[in-house]
Amino acid sequence: MKIGIIGAGNMGAALGKLWANAGHHVIFSYSRDEAKLRELAIEAGKTAKAGTVQAAVADSDVVLLAVWLPTLEAVIQTAGSLDGKIIITCVSGLQPDFTGQTIGIATDLKTSVAEIIQQLAPGAKVVEAFNTTFAEILASDSRQFGSDMPNVFYCGDDSEAKQVVAGLIEECGYESVDAGNLMVARTLETLATAWVQFAVSSQLFPNLGLKALRR
């Protein structure tokens, strides 16, 4: 599979490396430091390369959006056609105070970041995922917590796109959990806010995994 990574921060770098190691063709893009992109591609191995945002979109079947919220609209507007692409978003609306003194996400309560992306790219297949795990866990040697495998919840409106994303989640070492349609992103993004703030305020960050227990 061909995967474009837009955003070379901790999340984009870690996920791109995992997918490249799983044999996917990965293009890293969108960094103020082009040398960093080239270094990421070298670290990720022979199936990875660096490129522009436009190339990452045009040459890929799946696009990971891992950018800061204030840059989101500009990135999408300059990315080229996203029609038919599967977009995985882990873009966070979490406000910059991680201590719990600032509560909530920086979007209208009637929508979510994922739904905003769908509005900006109406021809794409948007799936929310990876916003309830930490880049430090993704970058570690294993996602296992003892004998437990943590969950990654995902949601979207296109069933085939969700199947693809579920497979990519599991290749990263998580158990995928279908949380429903894209509107559920409003809940997942709120959960992610609480999860991050709990991890930081409890001084357990980043060594936490989230798991839904079933009977």
Domain carrying residue 10: 2-201
What's the burial of 120, exposed, middle or buried (CB within 10 Å: 0-12/13-18/19+)?
middle
Q: Is residue 144 situated within a structural domain?
A: yes
- What mean pLDDT value characterizes the chain? 92
Query: In b/e form, how buried is each residue of 127-149, taking b as 16+ CB within 10 angstroms?
Result: bbbbbbbbbebbeeeebeeeeee
Half-sphere exposure of 125 (CA within 13 A, CB side): 15
List all residues 6 or more positions away from 108 whose beta carbon is below 8 Å from its beta carbon.
none
What is the pLDDT, as a whole number, of residue 108? 53
Q: Is residue 213 situated within a structural domain?
A: no
Q: Is residue 206 situated within a structural domain?
A: no
Q: Is residue 160 situated within a structural domain?
A: yes
Using N-to-C axis directions, what is the helix angle for 10-21 and 159-171, rounded to 10°?
Answer: 90
Q: Is residue 207 situated within a structural domain?
A: no
Q: Is residue 177 situated within a structural domain?
A: yes
pLDDT > 60? residue 98: no
Q: What pTM does this model have?
A: 0.93
- One-letter amino acid at 179 equals A
- One-letter amino acid at 170 equals E
Which of these ranges, 13-27, 49-63, 106-120, 173-187, has the smallest mean pLDDT?
Answer: 106-120
Give the three-state DSSP class for 24. coil
List all residues 6 or more positions away from 48 whose beta carbon is below 8 Å from its beta carbon.
16, 17, 20, 25, 26, 27, 28, 40, 41, 42
Q: Is residue 209 situated within a structural domain?
A: no
What is the pLDDT, as a whole number, of residue 140? 95
Q: Is residue 215 situated within a structural domain?
A: no
Per the structure, the count of domains in the chain is 1
Token pair recorded at residue 185:
């992103």
Domain CATH number, residue 156: 3.40.50.720
